[in-house]
């Protein structure tokens, strides 16, 4: 039995991991799916000061206060930024690290720096926007059956989360087990760059069918990959 901490991406919440979490629990794993500050059921906490550090602390405290050890830490999309920062603070508690169609930052980079949407994000910042509305599920390549559900669940994302650079010292590479999972049916340069960076560092590489929300489009395949890391 393993302890999984599954970190969602921008605009999403812990709800998006429901299918994967249920599959992992049938294998008797403990699964935690926290929602980051300002999103979804925590959207009442949305404010302009929420940034990447806020979300890193969300997950650090999830691990710390629940006394989790030998954690398999998974970050999806923007969650790749979050888990990269979490490992810096909780390295000894992490047994495996997984990036699922995620941004793979270098020291000093923000997600905006490596996102093809950078011009739109900077334009919104310059216009005084403090939270970006969610992208439509169709744009994320979500299967047609689930698009209405995903659109109904997503909420605005604090813009500072995209703009704040991350500080890394190499803890991410010291984790024993590391994997990058790429959604085959979602062409996106930012996540291709993440997969390339992981491959150069000799991470395990997996490709799964479906759109960007792999936990929704390919929960069985994703759960199988995660279970093998336990």
Alpha carbons 64 and 136: distance in angstroms, whole number? 34
Give the DSSP H or E segment for 83.
Answer: helix 79-90
- In the prediction, which pLDDT does 195 show? 97
* Gap between the Cα atoms of 173 and 156, Å rounded: 32
**pLDDT 10s digits, 52-73:** 999 999 999 999 999 999 999 9
Find out whether 40 and 153 touch, Cβ atoms under 8 Å.
yes
Helix (H, G, I), strand (E, B) or coil at 2: coil
Q: Is 208 helix (H, G, I), strand (E, B) or coil?
A: strand
**Arithmetic mean of pLDDT, 98-107:** 98
Total domain count, the chain:
1
77 tagged catalytic: yes
- Computed over every residue of the chain, the mean pLDDT equals 97
SS3 49: coil
Note the pLDDT of residue 11: 98
Mean pLDDT of 164-186: 97
pLDDT in tens, 4-57: 999 999 999 999 999 999 999 999 999 999 999 999 999 999 999 999 999 999
CATH code where residue 20 lies:
3.40.50.1820
- The one catalytic residue in 77, 93, 110, 111 is 77
How much is the pTM?
A: 0.97
Q: Encode burial over 77-94: b for 16+ CB neighbours within 10 A, e otherwise.
A: bbbbbbbbbbbbebeebb
- pLDDT attached to residue 148: 98
Mean pLDDT of 148-171: 98
Q: How many CA atoms lie within 13 A of 76 on its CB side?
A: 28
Confidence (pLDDT) at 63: 98
Nearest-CA neighbor of 56 among 79, 33, 31? Answer: 79
Residue 17: give the domain boundaries: 3-229
pLDDT of residue 136: 98
What strand order describes the sheet that includes 94-100? 30-32, 3-7, 71-76, 94-100, 177-183, 204-208
* Distance of alpha carbon 8 from alpha carbon 195, whole angstroms: 18
Mean pLDDT of 92-97: 98
């Amino acid at each position: 039995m393993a302890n999984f901490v599954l970190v969602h991406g921008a605009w999403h919440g812990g709800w998006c991991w429901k299918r994967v979490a249920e599959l992992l629990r049938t294998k008797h794993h403990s699964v935690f799916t926290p929602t980051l500050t300002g999103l979804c059921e925590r959207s009442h906490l949305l404010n302009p000061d929420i940034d990447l550090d806020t979300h890193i602390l969300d997950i650090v405290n999830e691990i710390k206060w629940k006394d989790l050890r030998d954690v398999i830490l998974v970050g999806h999309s923007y969650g790749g930024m979050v888990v990269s920062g979490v490992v810096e603070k909780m390295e000894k508690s992490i047994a495996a690290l997984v990036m699922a169609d995620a941004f793979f930052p270098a020291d000093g980079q923000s997600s905006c720096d490596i996102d093809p949407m950078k011009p739109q994000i900077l334009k919104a910042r310059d216009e005084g926007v403090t939270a970006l509305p969610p992208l439509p599920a169709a744009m994320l390549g979500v299967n047609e059956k689930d698009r209405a559900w995903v659109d109904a669940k997503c909420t605005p994302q604090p813009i500072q989360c995209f703009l704040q650079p991350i500080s890394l010292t190499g803890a991410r590479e010291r984790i024993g087990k590391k994997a990058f999972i790429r959604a085959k049916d979602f062409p996106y340069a930012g996540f291709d760059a993440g997969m390339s960076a992981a491959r150069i560092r000799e991470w395990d590489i997996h490709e799964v069918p479906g759109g960007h929300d792999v936990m929704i489009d390919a929960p069985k395949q994703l759960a199988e990959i995660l279970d093998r890391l336990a």
